[in-house]
Amino acid sequence: MGTLEACPLGPFSRFGGVDRPLIVVGVTHPQTCLVLRGRLRSLRAAGFRVVLISSPGELATRIAAEEGVEHCAIPMQRGMSPLADLISLVRLCFALSRLRPAIAEFSTPKAGLLGNIASFLCRVPVRIYILRGLRLETASGMTRRILQLSERITAVCSHMVVCNSKSLRSQALALGVVRRRKLRVIGNGTSSGVDVRHFMPPSSLTPERMRKSLGIPAGAPVIGFAGRLTRDKGIPELLDAFDSLLVDFPEARLLLTGWFDDSEDALSPAQRARIVNHPRILCTGFVTDTAPYYHAMDVLTLPTWREGFPNVVLEAAASGVPTVSTLATGARDAVLHERTGLLVPPGNPQALAAAIKRLLLSPEERVQMGAAARAWVADNFMHTRVQALTVALYRSLIRDAERQPAPALIKDEAAAGD
């Protein structure tokens, strides 16, 4: 499939035609397309025509091609930019009016806001907002009020708000950004699930080989992290915890499988320099496939302040690696405390260091937790199960939307999920 230069109108009716209903899946940044792997393919395999909308980028184009779907490139700014946002909104309205999808599914803050406003204006029959997290949880002052208003507008323009986790659903309700009747969690949470087979080490020698390729000495404890290197992910606390751990584990390595993200919660220049110049920290930069890196870790850490449902925890679990995370929204849904990992309060480097130290000192407990984590993920978060539930929901929404107004339909659907 190629990129749709102007998102031209295909031979589809209001509901996508009798052959293949059209679904638009929109995110803001090309890197976010990584979380759509498998999801786009499953929708296409289920009989949908799928169009991916995102800002232009080689990664988005490549993932669309890999998934066998079309890509409509519309520039969108992640930060607040009124003029650029207005231009993006006009382009989204034009694209949706030409495509005329049966379902519009938008996620991430900016694409969620602009995409759902455009879907409302274009009267898309079924409008879904995938809530992957709430940035306003860690914001304050005017920024927090603006983010709260943005989430409310997004929810008003949507028929259904699908939350990535049960705790995120509760938080969205508590913060007053969406009414209860619109909230929904599919299955046990997460939007795509995880391919357990992909993250399984191909052989018992894989961890040793991966460590060697990274220059990690044999026997050195490896504390891992995967994702954006930002304040909200708890990187400052992780750095403090790691330095304290070096007292007891002088050969330990901190493996940061991630990149410096230039977002509102970006690390300061001093914090970046601390990472780059630290002799025991390895920073890979952005990678498209994190699977090999989990195999080099003894424990994954995610000292986050807010999440939707962290995919990295599921990926580490599928790799047989236990996680030390926090009690923050979303994160606490991804770890079974004392069974698949450990949970500590966010913003507490001492508690984080103590939990990591406990697992490093107990290889047997690490192995037990890793095995339990893998079994838990296989039972509850297999990508095939999550995607099948999504397809079933979307098919039912289209059927009911053809019979009655979508708002009434989704009110009943959401109420049934309360």
Which residue ranges make up each domain of the chain? 22-193+383-417, 196-380
Q: Which residue has tokens 């949470």?
A: 189
pLDDT per residue over 217-268, tens digit each? 989 999 999 999 999 999 999 999 999 999 999 999 999 999 998 888 999 9
Contact between 241 and 352 (Cβ < 8 Å): yes
Q: What is the mean pLDDT of residues 100-104?
A: 96
CA-closest candidate to residue 95, choices 78, 77, 70: 70
pLDDT per residue over 134-180, tens digit each? 999 999 999 999 999 999 999 999 999 999 999 999 999 999 999 99
pLDDT per residue over 349-397, tens digit each? 999 999 999 999 999 999 999 999 999 999 999 999 999 999 999 999 9
Fold match flag (22-193+383-417 vs 196-380): yes
| Token couple for 417 | 């999920």
Share of the chain above pLDDT 90, in %: 83
- Topology (CATH) of 196-380: Rossmann fold (3.40.50)
CB atoms within 10 A of CB 250: 10
Q: What is the mean pLDDT of residues 341-355?
A: 98
pTM of the predicted protein model: 0.88
HSE value, Cβ hemisphere, 13 Å, CA-based, for 337? 10
Selecting from 3.40.50.20, 3.40.50.2000, 3.50.50.60, 1.20.1090.10, what CATH number does the domain 22-193+383-417 have? 3.40.50.2000
Q: Residues with Cβ < 8 Å from 364, sequence gap 6 or more? A: none
* C-alpha–C-alpha distance, residues 227 and 260, integer Å: 9
Confidence of residue 418 (pLDDT cuts 50, 70, 90): very low
- The vertex-381 CA angle with 51 and 46, nearest 5°, equals 35
Confidence of residue 15 (pLDDT cuts 50, 70, 90): very low
